[in-house]
Structure 1
């Protein structure tokens, strides 16, 4: 039997992974401070990753063979990001260590591995050549992703489990209250534009508008996580993970607008941050929630404009190389338009957007 522990099962990555594992017959536990109770057959584990005693209590009767770490916390500085996020991984794996049942640990990080942390994100002097490849050396800069990896490596050496690291680009999928949520953020922005008649204005840079890009559907990330954790040739390696295609925002932006039946405005030579664009729309959204009987009236619970601005404002085109996975047998592919359209349809069906 395979027993999965999904850490962060209420987020975009964790919830999609939990659903996939359950559909494939895994006994699946979801660990969070406030466990996800919306997924059928997901066994909730309430625990605080920063509290060793809480973890020991919550995991007392849980014996996972496979652990998937999809959770992180954002702090004010990178030094604090490193302290807190490495502690979360260290505490978790220390709590599981005496059980001697864990066979594999998968850690989800992202492209900040290559582009730098929030404080130095995509700044000149640190930018790697694209497409980004797994063998690119670590940047000579503090980065909480590196600290998380090192905790996994250390525990693997101590406890004898195999590991995999997964580096998605922007993850597209549904989650409420998620700190990095471009798909839902753009859906909310498009809905506001439709309600007010404002143009759907591209908020980012010339490099992002004109350059090549890619994204990661949460469903394809889930597939790779399971593949790597159950495939011998994929053990003890790091993998990029995207949909497997590239696009330009100057093409996709109009496709998104067409779905919502609104007018799009492209890049006009100026970066126009989305965070500023929707900064005063909290009351408008509450009114829309009442008008259309939406389930979430708080705009900041759905939209994470700051992170969408971070991605779309980058000074370089960004796409990732998937050759390593392909050579080892992971050949899943996802049409990016469908990543967004499927999400929009789900948000509408669940009364999260009008």
Structure 2
């Protein structure tokens, strides 16, 4: 395939998923545009597009000379209630696809959502309704709860029927990868927490639930998610399907937690059964981080721009073990694998090289 004929529009190109996807597409020879409100100029050969997805005039102007063949939607906006999440995030998808419709250039639209598809929205996360047995499978029905992931999917389905493009839905577990200022960034959050523990002589204390500590889990490296996105959008047997995506291995946090502590040269505390939310733990550490940033010459001295403890607490505090079934994409030919410990340690190495942690 001559990938120079493929023109990708990556929506949310500054985030964990979008930036890694853009890099993967560029490495395969695609022409890649990266759309965001604050364009990413750090990826070589990425063509930045500045636009506001809630402003159709902005989109018309920004995309006037761009006719993508493939659209990858990797962004969302957090709001105070799920009703607002639904209203705003469905509009993000709808506005973009409506603006692109007259061009008739789009062959495939890929949408990235996540495991809240199975576990419920932020307001009722893993708490209400009949939760599916794990491992979660794509065939599980939607929960009878408001969920902006469902609303975004429905916008893709409606536009597909209208415009004739194929689609794929991608549901990662916790995404591990390099991005600063992302709302859902466990890897960077844990790196910051461990760095503070090392600086202050503290042990790495598990913030989550007993079920997560003892149960089987998996995560999704942003790089393997990128590979699945490209694969699904260019493989006939993968069209018009939803796919879970995780690294391909499983682990228990009680094993991995010590391995992460070892990388930082600190001690991991044994879990005593008490949930200690990380958001509360980091709430008063802003000044310590400023001092560390000055001491070690770090690029970012604002702790809130690095750590998203609230979301890490959601993941690690779930009252059940959670992992993904990958059979659907495996049966269709997607065989990529990523070692989870390497996902974390390679991220930590990059954060250190980039002077974001000591």
| Shorter-chain TM band | over 0.9
Give the structure-1-normalised TM-score.
Answer: 0.99
Instruction: Name the CA distance, whole Å, in 2 between partners of 1:124 and 1:313.
Output: 15
Instruction: Name the CA distance, whole Å, in 2 between partners of 1:79 and 1:125.
Output: 18
**Are 1:191 and 2:195 counterparts?**
yes
In the TM superposition, residue 84 of structure 1 has moved relative to its aligned partner by 0.2
Alpha carbons 2:68, 2:106 under 8 Å: kept: yes
Superposed CA deviations along residues 286-333 of structure 1, whole A, max 9, x for unmatched, are 111111000011001000000000000000000010011111100000
Secondary structure of the equivalent of 2:301? coil
**Are 1:347 and 2:347 counterparts?**
no
Secondary structure of the equivalent of 2:321? coil
In the TM superposition, residue 127 of structure 1 has moved relative to its aligned partner by 1.5
1:338 is matched with 342
Alignment of 1:307-346 (within 5 A): 307-346=311-350
Instruction: Name the CA distance, whole Å, in 1 between partners of 2:59 and 2:129.
Output: 41
2:250 is matched with 246
Structure 2 counterpart of 1:45, from 45, 49, 54: 49
In the TM superposition, residue 126 of structure 1 has moved relative to its aligned partner by 2.8
Alignment of 1:266-345 (within 5 A): 266-345=270-349
In the TM superposition, residue 268 of structure 1 has moved relative to its aligned partner by 1.0
Superposed CA deviations along residues 119-143 of structure 1, whole A, max 9, x for unmatched, are 0000054321000000000001100
Tell me, which stretches of 5 or more residues in structure 1 are unaligned? none
Structure 2 counterpart of 1:103, from 87, 103, 107: 107
Superposed CA deviations along residues 74-98 of structure 1, whole A, max 9, x for unmatched, are 0000000000000000000001000
Instruction: Name the CA distance, whole Å, in 1 between partners of 2:128 and 2:20.
Output: 35
Instruction: Name the CA distance, whole Å, in 1 between partners of 2:66 and 2:271.
Output: 51
Tell me, which stretches of 5 or more residues in structure 2 are unaligned? none
1:157 is matched with 161
How many residues align? The count is 354
Alignment of 1:15-164 (within 5 A): 15-164=19-168
Q: Which runs of 4+ in 1 moved over 2 A?
A: none
In the TM superposition, residue 267 of structure 1 has moved relative to its aligned partner by 1.8
Instruction: Name the CA distance, whole Å, in 1 between partners of 2:106 and 2:269.
Output: 51
Structure 2 counterpart of 1:9, from 9, 13, 20: 13
In the TM superposition, residue 198 of structure 1 has moved relative to its aligned partner by 1.1
Instruction: Name the CA distance, whole Å, in 1 between partners of 2:99 and 2:15.
Output: 22
Alpha carbons 1:115, 1:126 under 8 Å: kept: no
**Are 1:182 and 2:179 counterparts?**
no
Aligned-CA RMSD value: 0.6
Alpha carbons 1:104, 1:163 under 8 Å: kept: yes
Give the structure-2-normalised TM-score.
Answer: 0.98
Secondary structure of the equivalent of 2:78? coil
Alpha carbons 1:205, 1:267 under 8 Å: kept: no
Instruction: Name the CA distance, whole Å, in 1 between partners of 2:128 and 2:214.
Output: 19
